[in-house]
Amino acid sequence: MVGMKDAVSGIQETFGDKIQRVELVRDIPVLSIAKTDLPAVALHIHSAPSLQGTLSLQWAADLRPRLAAYRIYYLFTLDGGAWLILQTDLQGDDRLFPSITPRIQAAKWYEREIRDLFGLVAAGHPDLRRLVRHEHWPKGTHPLKKDFPWNYIMGRQDGEYRFRHIEGEGVFEVPVGPIHAGIIEPGHFRFSVAGEPIMMLEVRHFWKHRGIEKLFENFGLMEGVPLAEKVSGDTAFGHSLCYGQAVESLLGMEIPLRARYLRSLFLELERLHNHIGDVGAICNDAAYSVALAHCGRMKERIMQLNDALTGSRFLRGLNRVGGLSMDLSEDQLNTVVLQINAVEQDFAELSRIIFNNASLTDRLETTGILKERTARDHGVMGVVGRASDIDRDIRRDRPFAAYDRLRFKVPLYRYGDVRARMRVRIDEVGESIDLIRQVRAAMTPGPVTVPVVAAATPGDWALSAVEGWRGEILYFVMAGDDGKIHRCKVRDPSFVIWPAIQFAVLGNIIPDFPLINKSFNLSYAGTDL
């Protein structure tokens, strides 16, 4: 692991005057470079043994009217958790920038998304088919350009998506979705098989694009929390917390300690009910419905606790810029501990039963293996990453809320199969319960919110990360004029992990896919903003 100052110095020594400018934006080094030099610098950050930078986010911003340019940002998470950003500008009518996808696989969807939403083309990208813009979107429609009205009603055109094909004797394609038998969101999966084993899977999502990032531009900085809660309904608290933290950083706000502790508590409650529900759902897809029934009962107990504490089963309406909208009394905090103690005992007994079930173990082991190399190439993190030996957790690596005052272990498994992903969830349930107890023991009286006393400078920005229950949530918020949001980039972990599931299914059979997919349990809405 190398220090950030040494990392930046090493990059400058390697590339000399190709690094046009280095500045610190809220302790994040930002290196400005010409677009022609970008692939070489990005590959060095990604591949150098001392850096091992994972591309965690790539996004664009239309800087008009302040500047007649587009800016493209590349966020790398270095070995050890430090952040480093590359940025390059496209001036005037320039719409081309060099693709880094041929060398850095994690950029593939980001660069396609940038093309769809901004009309900026990644030259040299191996797959420039539409991603977000389905074929019925009119040509030339790029909604995140500043001259595109948020309430514009598009016409409709006919078009056909060009799926990839494997040709040969005995090869069949099996389309599944986007409409499914269950009550789930729309997603299309196209399998290519020869006999039973899956030879290729192509994921085709983005069926219900809501224009959330465009909608953010209509809000003031203080008004965006309710919209952030709607990005992915099962992660309402995690998303609203991440947005709130970005604005608080932008405004230089210091959040009260009690609010920081409560934010950690609510985030762990959100993690608890989702993980417990997932364990039951994985077992159910392996025909072990008894576990589903018991996990459903425990999940409901926690969600009813959420409702009793806050008035929302999904913990909506709690976060606000500057802290929280409500406090918890001593009696309520004691109730939380009593309830999670009961759930802990109940869940521990169920876990023993699950792991002693030989037929269930046989069903889960070696199914849907995501190899560590594949996970690293795609920038996978969170539950799925930790099951494939990716040792990364924002709560530990870049502490937020009160996690710098709390102790916990990060579960890590190297097998990368369905059972490993379930074991990560089971271990994290125990860690979340212990974290909630630590919060209760450390709580001291004090305020849970502070007033806003500063204004943001137009063009200034901040970046925030939260370890949601699926993994790392990221928000980039750039201030505009009159306290408005100029640009808000949202990244749910699902956007990163969906491409990787296409590799985890290879060699399995189609009846295994529901089980593999459930063990990933990614958000369609969080992907399709």
pLDDT digits (tens, 9 = 90+) for 357-369: 999 999 999 999 9
pLDDT value at residue 244: 97
- 68-77, pLDDT tens digit by residue? 999 999 999 9
Neighbour tally for 161: CB within 10 Å = 12
Domain ranges of the chain: 4-123, 212-527
Residue closest to 439 by CA, chosen among 396, 398, 485, 408: 408
- 397-422, pLDDT tens digit by residue? 999 999 999 999 999 999 999 999 99
Predicted confidence band of residue 349 (pLDDT cuts 50, 70, 90): very high
pLDDT of 489 above 80: yes
Query: What separation in angstroms does the CA of 503 have from each of 47, 104, 405, 468, 496?
Result: 22, 16, 38, 24, 13
Query: What separation in angstroms does the CA of 306 have from each of 47, 184, 233, 408?
Result: 44, 23, 15, 23
- 44-63, pLDDT tens digit by residue? 999 998 899 999 999 999 99
Residue closest to 491 by CA, chosen among 472, 478, 477: 472
CB burial readout 371-393, b (16+ within 10 A) else e: ebebbbbbbbbbbbbbbbbbebb
The answer to whether residues 217 and 485 touch, using CB atoms and an 8 Å cutoff, is yes
Three-class secondary structure assignment of 347-408: HHHHHHHHHCCHHHHHHHCCCCCCCHHHHHHCCCCHHHHHHCCCCCCHHHHCCCCCHHHCCC
pLDDT of 186 above 60: yes
Domain 4-123: CATH class, spelled out? alpha beta
The answer to whether residues 419 and 365 touch, using CB atoms and an 8 Å cutoff, is yes
Left (φ > 0), alpha (ψ -120 to 50) or beta: where does 133 sit?
beta
Sheet holding 19-25, edge to edge: 19-25, 28-33, 83-91, 69-77, 54-62
Task: Provide the CATH number for the domain formed by 212-527 in this structure.
Answer: 1.10.645.10
Give the H or E element holding residue 293: helix 289-310
Predicted confidence band of residue 2 (pLDDT cuts 50, 70, 90): low
Predicted confidence band of residue 9 (pLDDT cuts 50, 70, 90): confident
pLDDT value at residue 87: 97
- 284-335, pLDDT tens digit by residue? 999 999 999 999 999 999 999 999 999 999 999 999 999 999 999 999 999 9
Residue closest to 204 by CA, chosen among 502, 460, 437: 502
As a residue count, the chain comes to 529
Q: In the structure encoding, which two tokens stand for residue 394, read together? A: 């924002």
